[in-house]
Structures are given as structure tokens and as C-alpha cells.
Structure 1
Amino acid sequence: MDMKLEVVVVPVADVDRAREFYESLGWRQDADFSANDGLRVVQLTPPGSEASVIFGDRLTTAVPGSVQGLHLVVSDIEEARAELVGRGVDVSEVFHDAGGVFHHAGTEARVPGPHPERAGYGSFASFSDPDGNEWVVQEVKTRAPGR
């Protein structure tokens, strides 16, 4: 049975501020619904993605800004970083991990620049939304088998 990741809940403090931020990234707003009990659901989808994020009021008990390591996969890390910077986002410089397997938490073991051989899955940049939820942009030129 196929199981596809469809939605990730992102905890935010200010729903309208978050919506404006994600829309400024060029993400498509799919929904903005409110219920009589104060529930509000806003759904946005990154360009080319089959999965979306939702945030709002009364959706989660998670602390705003507590999500780390959400990944956005791109085919060209430098082009993606330049586009984000052009949209006014504070994005880290491109980096790779000293261990070469994946990236460590936070800024530990970050080496400036893309992976020296531009190995698939090996180059990254990161940014945070206004609440501090962390996003990692990861370069994948050729997918691993079965993906």
C-alpha cells in the first residue's frame, strides 16, 4: 500500500505573519479555513511539491518555532539560495557536512561551500521562518534508486 506524506503541521505564533512569509517564498496558498470554535487552518504548498504545510490556530500543542530539519529538495543549491535571498529570506551560506553523510544538528560540523564532488544529497543551506522553525534546502541532482 502506498503511503504518501501529504501534510506537515508547523507550529506558529502569528498565523497571518506565517502566511505572508510562506507566500513570499512563492508557495501556493491552498486553503484558509476557520471554524466557529476558533480553529483556523492555513495550507500552503511549495512549488513542485506534493506535500504541503499547514499551520493555524488550535491545530497543535507544539511550541511555535520548535520544528527543525524540514527539508526542501532542489536540483541546484546555489540557484535555490539565490532565489530565496532575492525574496528577502535570511539564508545561510551553502554548506556541506564534515562527515559527508548528512548534516549535523544546528551548525555543528558545517563546512563552507557545496560538497566538494557535488555528491548527491550532500550540499545544503538553511533558513528559519519568523517563529524559528528551521528549513534545510538540500541539493539532489540524481535520486537514489527506488526514490
Structure 2
Amino acid sequence: MTMKIEVVPIPVTDVDRAKAFYVDQVGFNADHDHRVSETLRFVQLTPPGSACSIVLGEGVVEMAPGQQKGVMMVIESADQTLAELRGRGVETSEIVEMDWGRFIYFADPDGNTWALQELPDYAAAKQTPAEA
């Protein structure tokens, strides 16, 4: 059996403001922005290189704005990502060093939170001192 997470809902108060934040500041790709009816607008955005998108809009997310906490993305370089996000005006944490990776945290304008993880170099960690 195969299962893939394709879309994660992100509850927001202002769809246009949230779309601008995720596209212009965080760097997501704008895939779809379609108004189906007066009560249904579907906006799908995808992080660069990701197979999973987020959806926001009107009539598509049932949870209250700001309630999606801790969505995690894996990044190649915490240093590069931190510089890019801050350069685009995203307020982030400093890089947090842990045994299982380097993390950056941020929130969108509604308070939905994100964790970005640079995975540790497991191959380097397995080297003996003589191999290093």
C-alpha cells in the first residue's frame, strides 16, 4: 500500500494576505487560485521542490485561523534558508541546533506555525575519528 500526503490545509483570515505571504515572502509557487462559487475559493500553493502543497481559501478549511501548528518542511541548508527568509521580511527564530537537525521556526500572519529542518549528515556522524 502507498500513501502520500498531497495537501495540508492552512486556516487563514485573509486569503489574499496569506497568499502574498506564502508566495512573495516564503517563496511558495502559486499553483491554483480558483473561485468556485461565492462561498468557495480554492488556493493551492507548493513549496519549491515539494510534492506536497498547502491549501487555503474560503470554504475549504474548517479549523479556526492560526490553529495549524508545527507543519514541518525539510530544507537543504538552515543558514541559506534563514538568510533568504529574513531577506524577504519573514520573522524567524534563530537556527536551533539539535542532535536530530538544525531548525528554523516561523509563523504566518494568522499564527499558523512552521518548523524547517536541515537533516543531520548521518553519513558523517557514522565515521570513526580515523575516517574523518
Q: CA deviation at 1:51?
A: 0.2
Relative to its length, the structure with more strand (as a share) is 2
Cα contact 1:76–1:141 (8 A) shared by 2? no
Cα contact 2:102–2:120 (8 A) shared by 1? no
Which structure is larger by alpha-carbon Rg, 1 or 2? Answer: 2
Please provide the CA RMSD for this pair.
1.7
Distance 1:55 1:41 in 2: 6
Q: Which residue of 2 aligns with 1:23?
A: 23
Q: Which aligned pairs between 1:1-147 and structure 2 lie closer than 5 A?
A: 1-24=1-24, 25-95=26-96, 114-115=97-98, 119=99, 121-142=100-121
Distance 2:110 2:81 in 1: 22
The percent of aligned pairs where both chains have the same amino acid is: 45
Q: CA deviation at 1:141?
A: 4.6
Distance 2:91 2:62 in 1: 27
Q: CA deviation at 1:139?
A: 0.8
Distance 2:80 2:86 in 1: 10
Runs of 4+ aligned structure 1 residues displaced above 2 Å come to none
Structure 2 spans left out of the alignment, 5+ residues = 123-132
Q: CA deviation at 1:36?
A: 2.2
Distance 1:54 1:46 in 2: 12
Distance 2:52 2:120 in 1: 20
Aligned pair count reads 122
Distance 2:55 2:48 in 1: 15
Cα contact 1:26–1:47 (8 A) shared by 2? yes
Distance 1:92 1:65 in 2: 18
Distance 2:67 2:106 in 1: 14
CA deviation digits over 1:67-113, x for unaligned, max 9? 11101111211111111111110000011xxxxxxxxxxxxxxxxxx
CA deviation digits over 1:34-87, x for unaligned, max 9? 122410010000001000000000112201001111011112111111111111
Distance 1:81 1:71 in 2: 15
Could you tell me which amino acid in structure 1 is paired with residue 37 of structure 2? N
TM-score (norm: length of structure 1): 0.77
Structure 1 spans left out of the alignment, 5+ residues = 96-113
